Amino acid sequence: MDSSSSCFHSDPDFCPECGSILPLPGLQDTVTCPRCKFKIDVKDFEGKVVQSSTVFNKLEGSTTLLQGKEAVEIHGPMIERKCLRCGHEGMTYHTRQMRSADEGQTVFYMCLKCKYQEKEDS
């Protein structure tokens, strides 16, 4: 199969048959879709510029919240959840996969006021 026998027209980065992202052209004469094996002549990619970028989140993703006269460092997103120990409304949370992959994640909560931590298995 070649690009002239495709029923669809697509962006050059995608397979015109199934829509999958195409690999970059290499030394071969054709670019082959890894999903449906559709082949496109490598000459169709001449003059095309491919750009990519990777954006990394900051390693320490914490912010500071002023609570009264003292600053409280927040790690993770903040939600409206009542602390079981002090009754304060506002906790941060993060998740971890503690069990096998086919089971839900465990959610860890931390009170912004008293630093009490609790967990919830889903």
Query: Does 7 count as an annotated binding residue?
Result: no
Q: Long-range contacts of range 61-70, CB-CB < 8 Å, 24 or more positions apart? A: 65/112, 67/112, 67/113
Q: Calculate ∠ Cα 79-81-84, nearest 5°.
A: 145
Query: Does 36 count as an annotated binding residue?
Result: yes
Query: Does 86 count as an annotated binding residue?
Result: yes
Element (H, E) at 4: none
Distance CA 45, CA 47 (A): 6
| Binding-site residues for Zn(2+) | 15, 18, 33, 36, 83, 86, 111, 114
| Binding-site residues | 15, 18, 33, 36, 83, 86, 111, 114
